[in-house]
Every structure is written in C-alpha cells, then in structure tokens.
Amino acid sequence: MNKKELTDAVADAAGLSKTDASAALDAFVETVTKALKKKKTVTIVGFGTFQTSRSKAREGRNPQTGEKIKIKAKTVPKFKAGKSLKDAVNK
C-alpha cells in the first residue's frame, strides 16, 4: 500500500475528504518525525511504539576490495508493534 492508497483508505474509513485525510496523514508523519528527532518515544496503545536507537561506530569491510572502513555511529528510527497489532496480523 502506498501513500495515496493509504490516504484513500483513511478517507473512506473516517468519512473524510481525500484532502483532509491527506493533511491528517501528513500531520501524523511530521509530528512523529519531530518527536523522534528530539529523541522522544511515540506510543500508540495497541498499535505500537516509535522510538530511536543509537548504533555504535564500528569497523566494516568493503565487500569489493576487502579494505577495512570505518562506519560512523548513527541514530536510527525503530518501530515495535503492539500486542493488538501483532494479534490482528496473526489471525
């Protein structure tokens, strides 16, 4: 499902216009992104939790040359599905 299909589904389910559903979806994504940039956790009970995780700097290898390279530390977003979502998918 792409963004347009998701927007259409939300519009139908909530009885909104496609424009309003698109604006709501954009606002949701923007709000979660801003919270994650501030290292905050976003929890939607029953759905899941958005959070960040820090990966350590490490040494890797270039697979083509075998040369050692340094991989910088970075912050990555993570999503952990809630119990209700897991149960709904596994039915």
What pTM value is reported for the model? 0.81
Indicate the pLDDT class of residue 91, thresholds 50, 70 and 90.
confident
State the SS3 of 16-78: CCHHHHHHHHHHHHHHHHHHHHCCCCEEECCCEEEEEEEECCEEEECCCCCCEEEECCEEEEE
Beta bridge partners of 55: 74
* pLDDT (mean) for 58-78: 94
